[in-house]
Amino acid sequence: MVAGISETSAPDSRIGFDETSASTLATTGTDEFPYLRYTVKFTPGTDAATMSWRGRSVNRNDIAMHVWDAVAQTWGTPVAAATPVTPGGVVELSAKVTGSERFESGTAAVLVIDSPRIDEGFETRNAVPDEQFANPESYDFALQHITDTQYISRDDPEVYESMTQWTVDNAEKYKVAYSMHTGDLVQSHIRPGRPEDAARKEFEVASESMKILEDAGIPHGVLPGNHDNLWNAAGRMIPGEHEKNHALYNEFFGPQRYQDRPYWGDSFTDEDNSAHYDLIDIAGAKFLMLYLGYNPPDKVMRWAEGVLDDHPDHNTVIGTHYYLNEFGDKPNMGFSDIHASSGAQIWNRLVKPYDSVFMVLSGHIDGQATVIDHNVGRDGRTVTQLLSDYQYFEVEGERRTGFQRMLQFDIDAGKLAVTTHSPTLGSFHPERFDPQNRYEAGSGEFVVDFTLPADLPRRVSAEG
Ligand SMILES: [Zn+2]
């Protein structure tokens, strides 16, 4: 038996490259597949046999068995493949193999490889809206996306509470590893000169609702949208203005609130949490959750570049307030006076050049947009970008639908099932509450591609 690594899910030639006689192997590269290759002896003339293998992969990774076809000179399609029932659990493969082309001179060459998901059931089952979350046994972990809670902070605190309480109540069942809020926690802090009382009251509501996640130990983070700071203040180039504009946000959601959490990374400055990041291991892979406020100024963009430079081995989700518009464009904005950053600039400076960034979540624009960019950057990776903001959706004329999203990741399949749900309405149908009637039935339940670009764990190890 030898061990090797293949760049493809079945090597092009019978003998791969970099093979060693190791008994187990794991690799952490992008799109690389570790394998064990066996030469099995048979009585000359044998042209049929049952071949069995027992061992483990990692997480819920499929393992596939191929037998070399000496005539066609190919490993061909797998003769057997299986998914572990529990993460990292035992996989047993067995296949009856026939044909003299598989038994060259009394030997068969057998390849057992940690391949990508072969069964497409996760995608087919979840692509059809069914008013349900994906079956937790069929995915590795989930991320919760919540955003633009501004009107419920102002008018309907119980709706906000129902959202974070739902996450707490269901985190274990649905494998919610992390929850990200992409801004506009509150409504009434948008312009200077307005009385601070209203904003303070809303921040208190938002704070109490987020505390529900905090008290339950659910890893999570928030960022300031344009309603959470004095974005429209004059003189934004004045030193200290950025900090002044974020003072109330930082009073409630500053670094002091989060810095003792085990997943805490760092913030823009010791006092300013308007941009910050978390580091967390999920399903054996490292993740960086990078937060940028509304229209981040150049100094924040440079800070974010530094964070990405320092963590190339972390699969990165960028959360920011305004990135996609409702048509799926990444707009350029006219905020040159503050050297601030539009969606296009975030894409050009933080997403495209950094191979570790695989997802961007955003809000601000009322509605939904899904943009999957393929063949991005040096490694030709996939970048999944989701806008989901239901702030203007209405129940009986009031903006209190309380929809949020759960993103359910099947790592080995490279597929992500999105489910949009309102705990307070018990509804999976945001489109029914859109006063503009822009979306079709089931528009909040779908499947998209993703890839984890960094530190993707794959492994094959045999057991007797
Ligand atoms: Zn906004």
Pairing relationship of beta strands 381-389 and 367-376 according to DSSP bridges: antiparallel
Residue 448 has pLDDT above 80, yes or no: yes
Token pair recorded at residue 242:
């950025």
What is the mean pLDDT of the segment spanning 56-66? 94
Distance 448 CA to ligand 1 centre (A): 25
How far, in Å, CA of 301 to CA of 424, rounded?
Answer: 37
The pLDDT score that the predictor gives to residue 296 is 86
What is the mean pLDDT of the segment spanning 338-347? 78
How far, in Å, CA of 205 to CA of 188, rounded?
Answer: 12
Pairing relationship of beta strands 357-362 and 381-389 according to DSSP bridges: parallel
The pLDDT score that the predictor gives to residue 231 is 60
* Residue type at position 346: I
The confidence band for 4, taking pLDDT boundaries of 50, 70 and 90, is confident
Distance 118 CA to ligand 1 centre (A): 41
Residue 337 has pLDDT above 50, yes or no: no
Distance 365 CA to ligand 1 centre (A): 7
Residue 338 has pLDDT above 70, yes or no: no
Distance 322 CA to ligand 1 centre (A): 7
* Residue type at position 413: A
What is the mean pLDDT of the segment spanning 137-157? 96
How far, in Å, CA of 34 to CA of 115, rounded?
Answer: 8
Laid out side by side, the sheet with 107-114 consists of 17-20, 2-6, 33-41, 107-114, 63-67, 80-82
Residue 281 has pLDDT above 60, yes or no: yes
Point out which residues pair with 395 in neighbouring strands: 398
Contacts of 373 (CB under 8 A, 6+ apart): 382, 383, 385
The pLDDT score that the predictor gives to residue 318 is 98
Q: Which of 127-141, 280-294, 317-331, 334-348 has the lowest mean pLDDT?
A: 334-348
Separation of first and last alpha carbons in the chain = 13
Helix, strand, or coil (residue 347):
helix
Token pair recorded at residue 198:
């209203």
Helix, strand, or coil (residue 204):
helix
Distance 326 CA to ligand 1 centre (A): 13
Which of 428, 426, 434 lies closest to 446 in space, CA to CA? 428
Say if CB 202 and CB 152 are below 8 A apart: no
Question: pLDDT tens digits, residue range 347-376?
Answer: 999 999 999 999 999 999 999 999 999 999
Helices (H), ranges, 53-195: 121-126, 150-155, 157-170
pLDDT mean across residues, the chain: 91
Distance 332 CA to ligand 1 centre (A): 16
Residue 339 has pLDDT above 60, yes or no: no
Token pair recorded at residue 223:
């960022």
How far, in Å, CA of 449 to CA of 80, rounded?
Answer: 25
Report angle CA 31, 36, 39 to the nearest 5 degrees: 140
The pLDDT score that the predictor gives to residue 142 is 98
Q: Regarding predicted confidence, which is higher, 193 or 305? A: 305
What is the mean pLDDT of the segment spanning 150-173? 97
Residue 148 has pLDDT above 90, yes or no: yes
Distance 150 CA to ligand 1 centre (A): 9
Residue 342 has pLDDT above 90, yes or no: no
Distance 189 CA to ligand 1 centre (A): 11
Query: What domains sit in the chain, N to C, each tagged with a CATH number?
Result: 2-119 (2.60.120), 121-459 (3.60.21.10)
Residue 256 has pLDDT above 60, yes or no: yes
Q: Which of 89-103, 211-225, 380-394, 450-464 has the lowest mean pLDDT?
A: 450-464
Distance 141 CA to ligand 1 centre (A): 28
Q: Regarding predicted confidence, which is higher, 194 or 45? A: 45
The confidence band for 336, taking pLDDT boundaries of 50, 70 and 90, is very low
Question: pLDDT tens digits, residue range 183-239?
Answer: 999 998 777 667 788 899 999 999 999 999 999 999 999 999 988 987 655 444 566
Question: What does R_g of the chain's alpha carbons equal in angstroms?
Answer: 25
How far, in Å, CA of 263 to CA of 290, rounded?
Answer: 12
Distance 15 CA to ligand 1 centre (A): 56
The pLDDT score that the predictor gives to residue 89 is 93
HSE-CB of 394 using CA atoms within 13 angstroms: 7
Distance 23 CA to ligand 1 centre (A): 54
Question: pLDDT tens digits, residue range 82-110?
Answer: 999 999 999 999 999 999 999 988 899 99
